[in-house]
Amino acid sequence: MKPQTSYHHGDLPAACVRAALELLEDGEPSATLSLRAVARRAGVAPSAPYRHFADRDALLTAVATVGYGELAEHLAAACPAPTSPEELADVAVAYVEFAVKRAALFRAMFGEPCDHENPERVAATAVVKAYVADLVGRCFPGSDADALGTAVWALVHGLAFLELDGKLDDAPDTAYASVRSAVRAVLDLARQPAGSS
């Protein structure tokens, strides 16, 4: 829309993030996102992004931020308000599905060390956290929502990473089944209690 020939870009920050997301989707997932590639894709000199992002990490953080939002959307789309354990399994599958289908983005979001302090990032993860907390509150009323919430998040997060690293089942089909039965196995503890200490 905007004149492409303009010296100024118009909205380079957004364009960079968009370009980065596209590269993460397109490229093979093993390639690391390069700032120069982003600049190229945005049709701009390699150093231009530095006007808007302090360094590569800052760009990554911006990308991860929208990633968190899309993850939350994906989960909500799979099951907006899960109440039963079986629906929890659906959510787990959706989480792993997101990790698999958008592996590069997922790795950008969680794979490399980031500054935990960044308020943007914290705020963005809060969306996921809230979704999980909601889920736990509905599925397991009367439980320690905080503790169980982190446990549930950790469970699905761990499943996603193990799957990404090929440590679940090999066949992509049976992987989702593995996820489901892993979640079921945990919930089945509720029926045949273990020998408690």
Note the residues at the interface with a second copy (CB under 8 A): 29-30, 83-86, 103, 107, 110-114, 116, 125, 129, 139-140, 142-144, 147-148, 150-151, 153-159, 161-162, 164-168, 170, 178, 181-197
Nearer to DNA by Cβ, of 9 and 102: the residue is: 9
Nearer to a second copy by Cβ, of 9 and 157: the residue is: 157
Residue in the structure block whose two tokens are 């079921």: 184
Query: How far is the CA of 56 from the CAs of 17, 34, 110, 136, 142, in angstroms?
Result: 11, 8, 15, 36, 44
Residue in the structure block whose two tokens are 């509720």: 190
Residues making contact with DNA (CB under 7 A): 6-10, 12, 33-37, 44-48, 50-52, 55-57
Based on its alpha-carbon atoms, the radius of gyration of the chain, rounded to whole angstroms, reads 20
Query: How far is the CA of 53 from the CAs of 56, 124, 169, 182, in angstroms?
Result: 7, 18, 40, 41
* Burial bucket for residue 74 (CB in 10 Å: 0-12, 13-18, 19+): middle
Per partner kind, with CB cut-offs from 5 to 8 A, the member of a second copy, DNA, none near residue 34 is DNA
Per partner kind, with CB cut-offs from 5 to 8 A, the member of a second copy, DNA, none near residue 119 is none
Nearer to a second copy by Cβ, of 76 and 114: the residue is: 114
Nearer to a second copy by Cβ, of 8 and 191: the residue is: 191
